[in-house]
Amino acid sequence: MSRNTACDRHIHPITMPQLKLTYFDTHGGRGEPARLAMRIGNVPFEDHRFAFSEFAEIRKSTPFGQVPTLHVDGAQVTQSDAITRYVGKLAGLYPTDAYQALLCDEVMDALEDLNVRLGQTFGLQSDALKEAREALVKGPMTLYLTWLQTNSEARGGRYFADQRLTIADLKVFVMVRWLNSGRLDHVPGDLVARVAPDLLAIWHSLPRRRPSSWVDADPLVTHGADDHLTLLTLIHAIRATSTSAHKDHGLCGSLKGGSLPRLAILRWLACKLPVANDS
């Protein structure tokens, strides 16, 4: 009869699997929350990025012709939320409490529903695209964003689960960043600000705490080591996952650059921080 003993554990220490994430070379989409989670949690991985023009070839090697995929010690796994949840566990960004995990999953799955709805409009042209996107903005997008705001408030106004940063926050972040970018035709760049202002509003109350330098000095953060760490790790992670190819299009390549992306990311991050008494 064999038994696991402390001695066995010593002989066979738990090792991190070899991870390779394959996804578009972009800062948005279904692969980005997993990338952010691994960066934040210092989980080593191969960041296999490819250009949109290479997708036709890459997809031939995936089970469903889709990305992202994750290779775990050479075995290829699909499904973005399953991947994000898995790396979230490795990164310490997934709740261990069953109920908090449920709340985290609820947000992830709701956002995935929205991703699917948006995905259905890709490939449409001119009037058909306009009609479909406008209907989406008026209907599901407004509904989901409003729900996210209410949900966030109900859970304390900062995090979506476990009262700390989890993969749910990362997935919301990626979605909000995408919607704010104004890159989706017929989706107004101020939609989140209009529909779910509390997801963005705290920025407006923080004018004197606008950081002069992003990573090195952040007077925005004055309220405790955990928040400080969360903000800095998130900023570092976003910067690390940015690509020069996307500098013009959003936040990732722009942390040292344009004011609009900075504003958008600060708004979102500011929602995660306690409001200081500025008297």
Kindly state the smallest distance separating residue 249's Cβ from ligand GSH, in Å: 16
**Which positions touch ligand GSH (CB under 6 A)?**
29-30, 65-67, 78-81
- Can you tell me whether residue 29 is helix, strand or coil? coil
CB-nearer residue toward ligand GSH: 67 or 176: 67
Kindly state the smallest distance separating residue 168's Cβ from ligand GSH, in Å: 15
Supply 203's token pair. Answer: 């920025």
Residue 38 · residue 21 · CB < 8 Å: yes
Residues with Cβ within 8 Å of 43's Cβ and at least 6 positions away in sequence, in order, are 16, 19, 37, 87, 90, 91
d(CA 226, CA 138): 38
Residue 23 · residue 68 · CB < 8 Å: yes
CB-nearer residue toward ligand GSH: 80 or 100: 80
CB-nearer residue toward ligand GSH: 1 or 56: 56
CB-nearer residue toward ligand GSH: 71 or 164: 71
Kindly state the smallest distance separating residue 110's Cβ from ligand GSH, in Å: 14
> In terms of Cα–Cα distance, which of 88, 136, 86 is closest to 115?
136
Kindly state the smallest distance separating residue 277's Cβ from ligand GSH, in Å: 43
77 forms bridges with which residues in the sheet? 70
Among all chains, which residue has been given the structure tokens 């449920």? 102
Kindly state the smallest distance separating residue 265's Cβ from ligand GSH, in Å: 22
Residue 149 · residue 158 · CB < 8 Å: no
CB-nearer residue toward ligand GSH: 80 or 230: 80
Kindly state the smallest distance separating residue 170's Cβ from ligand GSH, in Å: 15
CB-nearer residue toward ligand GSH: 36 or 270: 36
Packing angle between helix 142-154 and helix 98-119, nearest 10 degrees?
Answer: 160
Q: Which residue is nearest to ligand GSH (CB)?
A: 66
